[in-house]
Amino acid sequence: MYDRFKWEGDISLKAVILAAGEGRRLYSKTRGYPKPLTRLLGLSIIERGILTARTVGITDFIIVVGYQGKKIMETLGDGSRYNVNITYVENPEWRRGNGVSLLKTKEFIDKPFILMMSDHVFDSSILKYLLEFDGRYECIIAVDRKPKEYIDIEEATKLKVRGDKIIDIGKKIDGFHGLDCGLFLMTPDIFDALEESISRGDETLSGGIKVLIDRGRVGYIDIKGAFWIDIDTPSDYSIAERQLLRNLIKPTDGPISKFLNRPISLSISKYLVNTDITPNTISFISFILSIPAAYLFFKNISYIYILLAGLLTQISSIIDGVDGEIARLKYQQSKYGARLDSCLDRYSDALIIFGMTHGYWILYGRGELIWFIGTAALIGSFMNSYTAIKYDTIIESRKTKSFRIGRDIRLFLIMIGAIANQILPTLIILAIITNLESLRRLYVMRDTSGS
Amino acid sequence: MYDRFKWEGDISLKAVILAAGEGRRLYSKTRGYPKPLTRLLGLSIIERGILTARTVGITDFIIVVGYQGKKIMETLGDGSRYNVNITYVENPEWRRGNGVSLLKTKEFIDKPFILMMSDHVFDSSILKYLLEFDGRYECIIAVDRKPKEYIDIEEATKLKVRGDKIIDIGKKIDGFHGLDCGLFLMTPDIFDALEESISRGDETLSGGIKVLIDRGRVGYIDIKGAFWIDIDTPSDYSIAERQLLRNLIKPTDGPISKFLNRPISLSISKYLVNTDITPNTISFISFILSIPAAYLFFKNISYIYILLAGLLTQISSIIDGVDGEIARLKYQQSKYGARLDSCLDRYSDALIIFGMTHGYWILYGRGELIWFIGTAALIGSFMNSYTAIKYDTIIESRKTKSFRIGRDIRLFLIMIGAIANQILPTLIILAIITNLESLRRLYVMRDTSGS
C-alpha cells in the first residue's frame, strides 16, 4: 500500500497511455491511421494528451501500443521532440481487453503512476486535481459528476460513490453518481488486481478496478466541470474540436473581442493550426497589416482611403488574436512570444493613430490643435497598455468582473470612426477615454497601496 | 535545548530591543533625549530598527527601557503606528550591565527570539541571515568578519570562532576573527546563563553569552559585508547617515543617474526626509516641473525658453529620484507609489517630447517631417519604459552588468540638446536610440523563449 500521492511539484510520476486499440468507429477521420494519431486542431490526439500532461510536469511516458503500433512509434519517436521521454510497450494481444494492455506495463512500474487513455482529450486541470489528491488509496479515479450534454452517457463508464470511496464501476449500472473520465492515479497494486480479474475472465481495466473496489481501495476526485471527452465517433471529434476552440476565449476578453473578434479569429485559427505557421509569424502579419492601414489614414486622399484603413485596422485587430490561439492549441506559448506580440501591438497602435492625426492635419488647414489631440490619443493608448500589465494582475486576483477599455475597443472605435468618416471625433474620443481609463486604473490600484 | 531556528516565512519570533542605557557620548546629537530617540534621516534610531525588523516579518517587540524610559514609551506607543506590537519592560537598574536588562524579559519569553540593540543601525539582510540559520545552538551571533574601515574596532565586541562555533567573546581579546554586530538569535537558555554570569559578578550580555560559549552552545552567521554600525559618538552618527544615503544608490541606476542625479537627489532627500512631505507628493512635484518645461519648449519664443526648458527637464529628472529615496529611508515604499511615479513619468516624458516637437514645428516652416521624428521619439521613449519592466527582471536574474538606455539618459540628452539649442538633432537622436534600444531589449529577451 502506498501512503500518499501528494504531488510536490517536483514530479517524478510516470504516465501510462493505453494506445493499443483499433478505434474503428472513428474511421472517417482516421483515414487508415491508428486512432491516437488522428489529427485534431494541429496535433494528434495522443500528442495533445502528452503535451497536456507535460503542462503539469509529467515528462515520462510509457505508451502501450498494439494495432498499428509501428506507426505510433515512428510518429512520436523517443519523445525528445516534445521534451519528454517515451518508452513503448508492445501488446500483440491488443484485441483482448484494455486490462491486458495495462498489465503489460507491470515490469516498468514500481510506484504510483498516472493512467491516461490515448483517445481522450481533456483539460490539464483534471490532472492537477489528481496530483493534488492527498489520501490513502490504491486507485483514484477522475470523476465527472455533472457530465455536459454532449457526453455520450450510454458509452461512458459509470461510477457509484459512497463517502470518499468508489463502490461500483461499469458501463451498465443503475443510479450512478458520475462518469469515469479516463484519467487515474494508480499504484502498482492494480497489476495484481488485473491478474485476478483476468483469471476470472474479465479482461477490462474496469474489471481490475472492480477488484480494488471490492477491497474498498478506490477513491476519486471531482473534476469540477473541467473539459474532457472520449473520442469514439466523428461526432465526438467535432465536439472536441468545438470545445477546444471555445476554451481559447479568455475570461479577460473585452466585449468586442468576445463577440466580434474571437468568433472570427477562432475560425482562422481552426484553419491555420493545421499549417506550420508559427504564432510569432502571425504576430508579424497582424503588425504588417497595420502599416497599410496607417499609410491610408496618413495619405487621406479620399473617403475610400479612410474606409479601407478602418477595415484593415479591424482585420489587424482580429488577426492579433490568432497568434495566441494557435500557441495555446499547439502548446507553443512562450513569454517571448507574448512580449514580441505586445511590443508589435504598441508600434501598430502608434502608427495608426499617427496616420489618422497626420491625415486629418493635411486635409484641414494644417492647424496645431489636431497634434494635441492625436498626441493625447497616442499617449492614452500607450498608458492603457502600460497600466494593463499590473492592472490585470490585480483585477484577476480580486476575481471581480470589471469593464476595461482595451485594445479591442480602441481599434474597433477607429474602424467605426473611419466608416463614419469622422477622424477628428474619433481621435477626441480616444484621447479622452484612454486617458480617463488610465486615471481610473490608477485609482482602482490605489487600494493596493503598500501591498 | 531548541532544535531548529529555521525561519519558515510565517514568522512568530519576537524581537527584544535593549534600550535602557544612557548613551552619554552622543550628547550633541541627542539634545537631552534618550539615545534611541535620536533622529537619523527622518526616523529615530530605534524606529529604524523596528521598521528594519518588520521588513523581514517581525511584528512583536519587547523593548527594555530604563534611562528616560517614559519618553521612549510615549514616543513609540503600542507600536500600532508601525503596524507592530510593542511590549515594554522597565528596568530601573539600567545603570547595571545590559545583561541585567535582558534578564528582565525572562518571563515574557518562552521560545527562540531575536535580540537587537536600540543604538545599532543595520541592514535587514543580517536579520534574514539569522532567520535562515539552520542548526542546533542556544545562541547565534551575527558576525562581521571583514569590518569596514569606519567601524570603531576598539569599542566593538570581538569574537573568536572555531569551525561553526564561537569560542570566545569580549572587548579585549587577541587574534579575534570578527566583530559582534549587536544582532542575535537566542533561545531562553540565555536567561540561566545570564543568572550564572551575574552571580559571578559579570553583568554584561557578553558575560551570559560566555557561559553558553563555555558549554559549546554558541554558533554564528557571517553578515557577508552587510551594513551595520553601533552609534556611540557623533562621528558614528555621521557615518550612519552617509552609509544609509549611499545604500540608496541602486545597482540598476544608469550612468547619468549614478554620477549626476543621485549625488544631488541624495542631498535633497537628506534634507526633505526630516519634513512630513510624502514620496507621492514628490512624484507630483517632479511631474509638475515638467509642465513648464514642456510649455517653454512648446512656445519656443527664444533661446532662453529652450535653455530654461532643458534645465527644468533635468531638475525634474533629479527630483524624480527623491520620492523613492525618501520612501526607502522612511520605509514608506508602496507598490502604488511606484506605479503612480512611473505613470506620471510617462506623461511628463510625453509632454516634454511633444513640446519640443511643436516648438520646432512652429519655428521652422510648419512642415510635417518633424512630426514623424517627434512621434518616433515619443513612441521610442514609451517603448523603453514598456519593455523595461520585463527587461530589468531578466537582467537582474542573470546578474550580468548591462548598459541600458533609461530615463536618466533620455532626459539628460534633452537638457544637453536644449543648452546647445539643437532640438531637431536631439529629437532625431532620441527617436533612433530609444527605438533601437527597444529592439535590442526584445533581442536580448529572445533567449528566454519558452521560459
| CATH number, domain containing residue B110 | 3.90.550.10
Pick from B340, B361, B368: CB nearest A442: B340
- Of the residues B346, B379, B440, B446, the best mutation for testing chain A's interface (the one with the most A CB atoms within 10 Å of its CB) is B379
- Of the residues A283, A448, A449, the best mutation for testing chain B's interface (the one with the most B CB atoms within 10 Å of its CB) is A449
- Residue A383 in this model has a pLDDT that exceeds 70: yes
The reply to whether A287 falls in a domain is yes
Phi-psi region of B225 (alpha: psi -120 to 50; beta: other; left: phi over 0): left
Q: B379: nearest CA in chain A?
A: A350
Residues B256 and B171 in one domain: no
- Mean pLDDT within B303-318: 97
Residues A260 and A122 in one domain: no
Pick from A339, A445, A446: CB nearest B442: A339
Residues A64 and A116 in one domain: yes
Distance CA B414, CA B353 (A): 9
Residues A305 and A357 in one domain: yes
Q: A359: nearest CA in chain B?
A: B368
Enter the C-alpha cell of residue B76. 513609540
What are the residue ranges of helices labelled H in A44-168? 45-55, 69-76, 98-103, 124-132
Q: How far, CA to CA in Å, does B253 sit from each of A349, B291, B321, B388, B443?
A: 30, 25, 10, 13, 22
Phi-psi region of A400 (alpha: psi -120 to 50; beta: other; left: phi over 0): beta
**Chain B residues with CB-CB distance to A346 below 8 A:** 379, 382-383, 386
Residues A255 and A202 in one domain: no
- Mean pLDDT within B238-264: 92
Q: A442: nearest CA in chain B?
A: B340
Q: How far, CA to CA in Å, does A353 sit from each of A348, A350, A426, B14, B434?
A: 9, 5, 10, 58, 19
**Chain A residues with CB-CB distance to B385 below 8 A:** 386
The reply to whether A102 falls in a domain is yes
End-of-domain residue from the set B197, B219, B243: B243
Q: What stretches of A91-151 adopt beta strand conformation (E)?
A: 113-117, 120-122, 139-144
- Residue B414 in this model has a pLDDT that exceeds 60: yes
B339 with A442: Cβ contact below 8 A = yes
Write down the pLDDT at residue A172: 87
Q: Name the nearest CA neighbour of A340 among A383, A332, A245, A403.
A: A332
Domain CATH number, residue B368 = 1.20.120.1760
**Chain A residues with CB-CB distance to B340 below 8 A:** 442
Q: Please tell me the distance in Å from B300's CA to the nearest CA on chain A.
A: 14
Distance CA B440, CA B388 (A): 12
pLDDT in tens, B56-82: 999 999 999 999 999 999 999 999 999
pLDDT band at B28 (very low <50, low <70, confident <90, very high): low
Write down the pLDDT at residue B403: 72
Enter the C-alpha cell of residue B398. 542573470
Write down the pLDDT at residue B10: 40
Burial A293-326 (b: 16+ CB within 10 A, else e): bbbbbbebeeeebbbbbbebbbbbbbbbbbbbbb
| Residue B225: CB atoms within 10 Å | 12
The reply to whether A6 falls in a domain is no
Burial A245-277 (b: 16+ CB within 10 A, else e): beebeeeebbebbeebbbeebbebbbebbeeee
State chain A's mean pLDDT as an integer: 90
A362 with B368: Cβ contact below 8 A = yes
For B81, counting Cβ atoms within 10 Å of its Cβ (0-12 exposed, 13-18 middle, 19+ buried), the class is exposed
Distance CA B67, CA B25 (A): 14
Write down the pLDDT at residue B7: 39
- First vs last C-alpha separation in chain A: 46
- Residue A4 in this model has a pLDDT that exceeds 80: no
HSE (side-chain half, CA atoms, 13 Å) at A179: 21
pLDDT band at A31 (very low <50, low <70, confident <90, very high): low
Q: Domain range holding A206?
A: 14-243
Q: A386: nearest CA in chain B?
A: B386
Q: Please tell me the distance in Å from A384's CA to the nearest CA on chain B.
A: 10
Distance CA B374, CA A43 (A): 47
- Residue B338 in this model has a pLDDT that exceeds 70: yes
Write down the pLDDT at residue B133: 85
A448 with B366: Cβ contact below 8 A = no
Highest mean pLDDT range out of A25-39, A343-357, B32-46? A343-357
End-of-domain residue from the set B184, B208, B243: B243
Write down the pLDDT at residue A3: 41
**Chain A residues with CB-CB distance to B358 below 8 A:** 368, 371
- Of the residues A356, A379, A394, the best mutation for testing chain B's interface (the one with the most B CB atoms within 10 Å of its CB) is A379
Q: Please tell me the distance in Å from A446's CA to the nearest CA on chain B.
A: 6
pLDDT in tens, B186-223: 999 999 999 999 999 999 999 999 999 999 999 999 99
- Mean pLDDT within B311-335: 95
B386 with A385: Cβ contact below 8 A = yes
Phi-psi region of A58 (alpha: psi -120 to 50; beta: other; left: phi over 0): beta
The reply to whether A9 falls in a domain is no
| Residue A381: CB atoms within 10 Å | 27
Please give, one letter per residue, the 3-state secondary structure of B337-387.
Answer: HHHHHHHHHHHHHHHHHHHHHHHHHHHCCCCCHHHHHHHHHHHHHHHHHHH
pLDDT band at A450 (very low <50, low <70, confident <90, very high): very low
B343 with A389: Cβ contact below 8 A = no
Q: A336: nearest CA in chain B?
A: B449
For B106, counting Cβ atoms within 10 Å of its Cβ (0-12 exposed, 13-18 middle, 19+ buried), the class is middle
The reply to whether A7 falls in a domain is no
Q: Name the nearest CA neighbour of B177 among B155, B208, B202, B153.
A: B153
Contact in structure between A309 and A260 (CB atoms under 8 Å): no
Residues A211 and A132 in one domain: yes
- Of the residues B330, B375, B445, the best mutation for testing chain A's interface (the one with the most A CB atoms within 10 Å of its CB) is B375
Task: Name the pairing type of β-strands B218-222 and B139-144.
Answer: parallel
State chain B's mean pLDDT as an integer: 90
Residue A65, C-beta contacts closer than 8 angstroms, at least 6 positions apart = A19, A20, A72, A73, A88, A89, A90, A91, A94
Contact in structure between B80 and B35 (CB atoms under 8 Å): no
B347 with A375: Cβ contact below 8 A = no
Residue B70, C-beta contacts closer than 8 angstroms, at least 6 positions apart = none
Highest mean pLDDT range out of A303-317, A325-339, B145-159, B248-262? A303-317
Pick from B336, B342, B368: CB nearest A446: B336
Enter the C-alpha cell of residue A298. 496618413
Cell 500532461 belongs to A53
Residues B217 and B345 in one domain: no
Burial A401-435 (b: 16+ CB within 10 A, else e): eeebbbbbbbbbbbbebbeeeebbebbbbbbebbb
Window 368-407 of B: residues touching A by CB (8 A cutoff) are 368, 371-372, 375, 378-379, 382-383, 385-387, 389-390
DSSP-based three-state secondary structure for A229:
strand
Q: B374: nearest CA in chain A?
A: A375
Q: Name the nearest CA neighbour of A321 among A277, A268, A273.
A: A268
Please report, rounded to a whole number, the percentage of residues in chain B having pLDDT higher than 70: 94
Q: How many residues does chain B have?
A: 451
A343 with B442: Cβ contact below 8 A = yes
Q: What one-letter code names the amino acid at B323?
A: D
The reply to whether B287 falls in a domain is yes
Enter the C-alpha cell of residue B49. 530598527
Q: How many residues does chain A have?
A: 451
Into how many domains does chain A fold?
2
pTM: 0.84
Distance CA A343, CA A340 (A): 5
Residues A215 and A279 in one domain: no
- Of the residues B354, B372, B381, the best mutation for testing chain A's interface (the one with the most A CB atoms within 10 Å of its CB) is B354
- Say yes or no: B420 contacts chain A, CB-CB below 8 A: no
B334 with A451: Cβ contact below 8 A = yes
Write down the pLDDT at residue B9: 41
End-of-domain residue from the set B207, B225, B243: B243
A445 with B379: Cβ contact below 8 A = no
**Chain A residues with CB-CB distance to B343 below 8 A:** 383, 386-387, 438, 442
A450 with B362: Cβ contact below 8 A = no
Task: Name the pairing type of β-strands A218-222 and A139-144.
Answer: parallel
- Of the residues A83, A284, A354, the best mutation for testing chain B's interface (the one with the most B CB atoms within 10 Å of its CB) is A354
DSSP-based three-state secondary structure for B257:
helix
Residues B206 and B235 in one domain: yes
Q: Name the nearest CA neighbour of B164 among B131, B191, B141, B189.
A: B141
Q: Please tell me the distance in Å from A448's CA to the nearest CA on chain B.
A: 7
DSSP-assigned letter for residue A422: -
- Of the residues A369, A373, A375, the best mutation for testing chain B's interface (the one with the most B CB atoms within 10 Å of its CB) is A375
pLDDT band at B29 (very low <50, low <70, confident <90, very high): low
Write down the pLDDT at residue B238: 93
pLDDT band at A30 (very low <50, low <70, confident <90, very high): low
Please name the helix (run of DSSP H) or strand (run of DSSP E) that holds residue A84, with its range, or none.
Answer: none
Write down the pLDDT at residue B75: 94
Residues B255 and B237 in one domain: no
Query: Which residues are bridge partners to A14 per DSSP?
Result: A60, A113
Phi, psi of B221 (to 5 degrees): -125, 150
Name the more confident of A439 and A26. A439
pLDDT in tens, B349-393: 999 999 999 999 998 877 789 999 999 999 999 999 998 877 877
Q: B334: nearest CA in chain A?
A: A450
Does the ipTM surpass 0.95?
no
Task: Name the pairing type of β-strands B85-90 and B165-170.
Answer: unpaired
B449 with A371: Cβ contact below 8 A = no
Residues A422 and A324 in one domain: yes
Write down the pLDDT at residue A442: 86
Cell 527597444 belongs to B438
- Residue B411 in this model has a pLDDT that exceeds 90: yes
Distance CA A298, CA A309 (A): 9
Write down the pLDDT at residue B445: 80
Pick from B340, B350, B371: CB nearest A371: B371
Please give, one letter per residue, the 3-state secondary structure of B102-158.
Answer: HHCCHHHCCCCEEEEECCEEECHHHHHHHHHCCCCCCEEEEEECCCCCCCCCCCCCE
Residues B219 and B295 in one domain: no
- Residue B448 in this model has a pLDDT that exceeds 60: no
Enter the C-alpha cell of residue A69. 503500433
Residue A248, C-beta contacts closer than 8 angstroms, at least 6 positions apart = A262, A266, A269, A324, A325, A328, A329
User: How many secondary structure helices (H) and strands (E) does chain A include?
Assistant: 16, 13
Enter the C-alpha cell of residue B445. 529577451
Write down the pLDDT at residue A140: 94
A382 with B386: Cβ contact below 8 A = yes
The reply to whether B5 falls in a domain is no
**Chain B residues with CB-CB distance to A350 below 8 A:** 375, 378-379, 382
The reply to whether B6 falls in a domain is no
Pick from B343, B372, B383: CB nearest A438: B343
pLDDT in tens, A115-157: 999 999 999 999 999 998 877 889 999 999 999 988 888 889 9
- Mean pLDDT within A229-251: 92
Count how many pairs of residues, chain A against chain B, have C-beta atoms within 8 Å: 106
Please report, rounded to a whole number, the percentage of residues in chain A having pLDDT higher than 70: 94
pLDDT band at A54 (very low <50, low <70, confident <90, very high): very high
Rounded to 5°, angle at Cα B193 from B191 and B196: 110
Instruction: Report CA torsion sign: B7, B9, B10, B16.
Output: positive
Name the more confident of A363 and B448. A363
Enter the C-alpha cell of residue A29. 477521420
Pick from A350, A371, A451: CB nearest B379: A350
Q: How far, CA to CA in Å, does B264 sit from each of A1, B250, B254, B290, B318?
A: 70, 15, 15, 18, 7
Phi, psi of B20 (to 5 degrees): -95, -20
For A50, counting Cβ atoms within 10 Å of its Cβ (0-12 exposed, 13-18 middle, 19+ buried), the class is buried
